[in-house]
Amino acid sequence: MPVCLSFLYHSDMTLPSHLRAVFDEQFRASRAQIDTPIEERRRRLDLLERLLTDNAEALAAAVDADFGGRGAALTDIADMFVLRATFAELKRNLVHWSKPKRVRTPIYLQPSTARIERQALGVVGIIGPWNYPLQLTLGPAATALAAGNRVMVKPSELTPGTSALLAKLVKKYFPESEMTVVQGGAEEAAAFAALPFDHLFFTGSTAVGRKVAESAARNLTPVTLELGGKSPCIVDVSCEDLRDAALKIAHGKLLNGGQTCIAPDYLVLPRHMEAAFVDAYRGAIAQMFPQVEGNPDYAAIVNEHHQARLKGLLDDAVALDAKVMDVGPAATGTTDASRRMRPVLVLDVRPDMRIMDEEIFGPVLPVVLYDQIDEVLVRINAGPRPLALYWFGEDTARRDKVLRGTVSGGVTINDTLLHVAHERLPFGGVGESGQGAYHGEAGFLRFTHQKSVLVQSRWAQGGLLYPPYGARFERIMGWIRKLL
């Protein structure tokens, strides 16, 4: 008997017929096969990994074309390598994570036994971003497949070539009932978010994340929101090697042209270190990027709109008396038609500047000077909680004061970005920087229903607590209270 799906759609929804048809097919398949065998999950993971491996060059070329300048080596380290690590971790732990977990039974419920069974949710929707269009789309998809789910993916319209190639390849490797890619712009994305998924996973801006959450709420669809925000990078007075710190900060800031959600958004620096840091940061950039123009290792800004937005942030800062300092290598004089934006430091910043309020997402690093660490903590805690926080120094007491005195999605000490590369650390935001975490077992559980099961024993004496209540009941309850 066919499953009736009309109850899933609200009467005020206007969904494209093809979108509804794809969802309906996956919904029926997920309900027809509630328990997805380990062998089937592994097969789907293998297919996705083969898709990536067999088509690595074509995918890197598509990303390069979409950005107007993003070298294959950058895509290999920033997208492909992370995905390979994800596949390896999922395969290594798939059996263990999928097993039922025995739970100790309290004395008052013995001799019953209890366990937690881990089941697939059903159909998972994934809305991916443009900045890492492979890693941040296929990574969540792989985890959802490992957990036994069917997956629908909506990649970003800002990387149309990559999105089109993904759609073509997924259709080649997977039946539509297992995994599919939906293309389109903002209207298609809004319709996608309105589908009654069993879970909806979104990576993108906080503003769009709010809209996704509102749309999902109409279906009571649980969401994971991987957003962004103002991630501070603190250099402590105990930092002994400023050049090493500057190199790591420059790498974290300039990877992918600064278009990274966990990039250091602004630098917090002891006042007396400003001149030394400027020199060290300039040297670090010259070491990694001997030239900006035409350099495939230095990614272009994804489109003209974002390039204009960054220019607007700098213009606003200059109008409010900030000093913008080009810290890139000497210009080569060659013509570069790409949107590669030269790296800059912004000095003498003020809280009322747009650059200190909006997420930057580009090779622009504002510098905030401080005298006492307490004023740094006040500044950080006065705003939305950041997705990431970075701290450089040697004094563990001062480090721990910052860790205890702030709340952020994740932290890397004496480096940048690397906590996200650790597959066994949950990755996610808090407050305006996100909701829910994934990676490793945390991600597996994000796409899993943990079903509680209690098995009563034939020797159970629960009836002793049934009505009518009286003296015997009071004696038994008194005995139980002593054992708790």
Tens-digit pLDDT profile for residues 245-256: 999 999 999 999
Residues 258 and 126 both lie in one domain: no
Within-domain flag for 69: yes
Co-location of 204 and 258 in the same domain: no
pLDDT at 310 exceeding the cut of 50: yes
pLDDT for the residue numbered 13:
54
Domain assignment present for residue 479? The answer is no
User: CATH code at 12?
Assistant: 3.40.605.10
The answer on 163 and 303 residing in a single domain is no
Distances (CA, A) of 397 to 177, 394, 400, 407, 457: 54, 9, 5, 17, 53
Q: Are residues 135 and 208 in the same domain?
A: yes
pLDDT tens string 112-167: 999 999 999 999 999 999 999 999 999 999 999 999 999 999 999 999 999 999 99
| pLDDT for the residue numbered 3 | 46
Looking at the structure, tell me whether residues 325 and 411 fall in a common domain.
yes
Instruction: Give the range of the structural domain holding residue 337, as residue numbers without chain letter.
Output: 232-428
**Sign for the pseudo-dihedral over CA of 190, 192, 198, 202:** negative
Query: Is the separation of the CB atoms in 416 and 232 below 8 Å?
Result: no
- Has residue 144 been placed in a domain? yes
> Within a domain: residue 216?
yes
Give me the active site residues, please.
226
- Kindly report the CATH number assigned to the domain that includes residue 397: 3.40.309.10
pLDDT at position 332: 75
**114: exposed, middle or buried (Cβ count in 10 Å: 0-12, 13-18, 19+):** middle
Total-model pTM: 0.93
Domain count, the chain: 2
pLDDT(188) > 60? yes
351 and 202 together in one domain: no
Tell whether 181 is covered by a domain.
Answer: yes
Instruction: Look at residue 105 and tell me if it is in a domain.
Output: no
Q: Is 402 inside a domain boundary?
A: yes
Residues 158 and 253 in one domain: no
- By DSSP bridging, strand 323-326 and strand 344-347 are antiparallel
Residues 92 and 126 in one domain: yes
The pair of structure tokens assigned to 337 is 């038609």
Given a cut of 60, whether residue 103 has pLDDT beyond it is yes
Q: Do residue 236 and residue 216 come from a single domain? A: no
Q: Is 45 helix (H, G, I), strand (E, B) or coil?
A: helix
Q: How far, in Å, are 238, 256, 322, 427, 461 from residue 411 at the CA level?
A: 18, 20, 29, 10, 50
> Do 205 and 294 lie in a common domain?
no
Distance in Å from the first CA to the final CA of the chain: 50
Amino acid at 55: N
Co-location of 33 and 182 in the same domain: yes
Q: Is residue 190 part of a domain?
A: yes
pLDDT in the model for residue 8: 56
Question: Are residues 179 and 55 part of one domain?
Answer: yes
Q: Pinpoint the alpha helices (H) of 218-273.
A: 242-254
pLDDT for the residue 407: 97
266-305 pLDDT, tens per residue? 999 999 999 999 999 999 999 999 999 999 999 999 999 9
